[in-house]
A = this chain, B = another copy of it.
């Protein structure tokens, strides 16, 4: 049936390194040197080869490179199950950094509660020979994961709410400072009975945010009874439940700081259900500045941390040496969060 031995169905089969070598009159190793900017070679040779590459539109085959190098040009995004918007913003940041490079982004959700989690990640890294991974909180807080990455010789960057690792492996926001600023804002408005809805135990971000809150109160000489602290799980529903318990207090707190926007939205929801006017009878501050914060009524005062920029920085830390695009401007490791003032905070009623 087949007439030609190589029926190359489509127009001009992609050129290989051999084609380039032949056209340029050099060996393929020399072409490889041009591609990888490795070794030393004569300017004339380089230019000649670069010209041929340009003319033919040659692009090295990533699969072959991956095989020969024992390392793929893929960046992994390993995360558990946090906020959807956060994951997506992170993806956006990483992808911005990867744009116009040879790297691609591979997404990998894992189950923190599964005992196989570490093995899953290991086989993922090893099998795909990932170039590097970005670890999102909360699993980024697990030191075992970081050690695993080193063990399998995979670059990694951990995202977090505080510095957990050296700058090469860490991109952090300074949540503590941001929470202090937010709490001071409430205090400055005149609030003294301020409730806290914390994040789940075991989360570094939850701990850090709570620390900041308590620090700001202590700083102002305000006593914080245990009853004003309600446990939350970073979910909308847990925010509602925590708010209910706070609302039952006598007297009620005049302001609530929720450790993320989801829970803050829950507080708002619960307040509406009880007919508590916000911000007149109750001020609310959230954290994250997710889209929902600006969409509820009143829009939430919250803390914004630059997720997209952090994602970009994380990716650049990983691919930085591979792409000599930027000179040597070290990517920042710490990003500052800012208080976004909207309508959910007002002075307490007399």
A307 to B187, CA, bound (A): 44
Structural contact, A297 and B295, CB atoms closer than 8 A:
no
Cβ of A341 to closest chain B Cβ, rounded Å: 18
A295 to B297, CA, bound (A): 11
Looking at A37-45, A57-65, A202-210, A325-333, the stretch in contact with chain B turns out to be: A57-65
Residues of B near A291 (CB, < 8 A) are: 84, 236, 292
A292 to B291, CA, bound (A): 9
* Interface membership of chain A positions 94-125, coded 1 if the CB is closer than 8 angstroms to chain B and 0 otherwise: 01000000001111110000000000000100
* Interface membership of chain A positions 140-169, coded 1 if the CB is closer than 8 angstroms to chain B and 0 otherwise: 000000000001110000000000000000
Query: Considering only CB atoms, which chain B residue lies closest to A109 in the complex?
Result: B95
A88 to B91, CA, bound (A): 11
Given the interface pairs A236-B295, A296-B295, the reply to whether A105 lies near B104 with Cβ below 8 Å is no
Looking at A212-220, A244-252, A265-273, the stretch in contact with chain B turns out to be: A265-273
Q: Flag whether A27 is at the interface (Cβ < 8 A).
A: no
Looking at A126-134, A191-199, A226-234, A312-320, the stretch in contact with chain B turns out to be: A126-134
Q: Flag whether A87 is at the interface (Cβ < 8 A).
A: yes
Number of interface residues of A (CB under 8 A): 48
Given the interface pairs A59-B127, A296-B296, the reply to whether A107 lies near B95 with Cβ below 8 Å is yes
Partner of A63, one of B63, B87, B91, B262: B63
A84, A89, A265, most chain B CB atoms within 10 A? A84
A18 to B92, CA, bound (A): 41
Q: Flag whether A189 is at the interface (Cβ < 8 A).
A: no
Cβ of A73 to closest chain B Cβ, rounded Å: 9
Structural contact, B67 and A64, CB atoms closer than 8 A:
yes
Query: Considering only CB atoms, which chain B residue lies closest to A77 in the complex?
Result: B107
Query: Considering only CB atoms, which chain B residue lies closest to A124 in the complex?
Result: B104
Cβ of A30 to closest chain B Cβ, rounded Å: 22
Partner of A14, one of B10, B59, B87, B126: B126
Residues of B near A105 (CB, < 8 A) are: 106-107
Query: Considering only CB atoms, which chain B residue lies closest to A273 in the complex?
Result: B297
Partner of A84, one of B74, B88, B297: B88
* Interface membership of chain A positions 68-91, coded 1 if the CB is closer than 8 angstroms to chain B and 0 otherwise: 000010100000000011011101
Structural contact, A91 and B64, CB atoms closer than 8 A:
no
A87 to B105, CA, bound (A): 15
A10 to B292, CA, bound (A): 47
Taking A10-B151, A59-B123, A91-B107 as known contacts, 17 extra A-B pairs with beta carbons closer than 8 A to each other, sorted by chain A number, are A61-B67, A63-B66, A63-B67, A63-B129, A66-B67, A74-B106, A84-B84, A85-B85, A104-B128, A105-B106, A106-B107, A236-B291, A236-B294, A265-B295, A266-B295, A268-B297, A296-B296
Can you give 19 contacting A-B residue pairs, CB < 8 Å? A9-B153, A10-B151, A10-B152, A59-B123, A63-B66, A63-B129, A74-B106, A84-B84, A84-B291, A85-B85, A92-B109, A104-B128, A106-B106, A236-B295, A265-B295, A266-B295, A269-B295, A292-B295, A297-B297
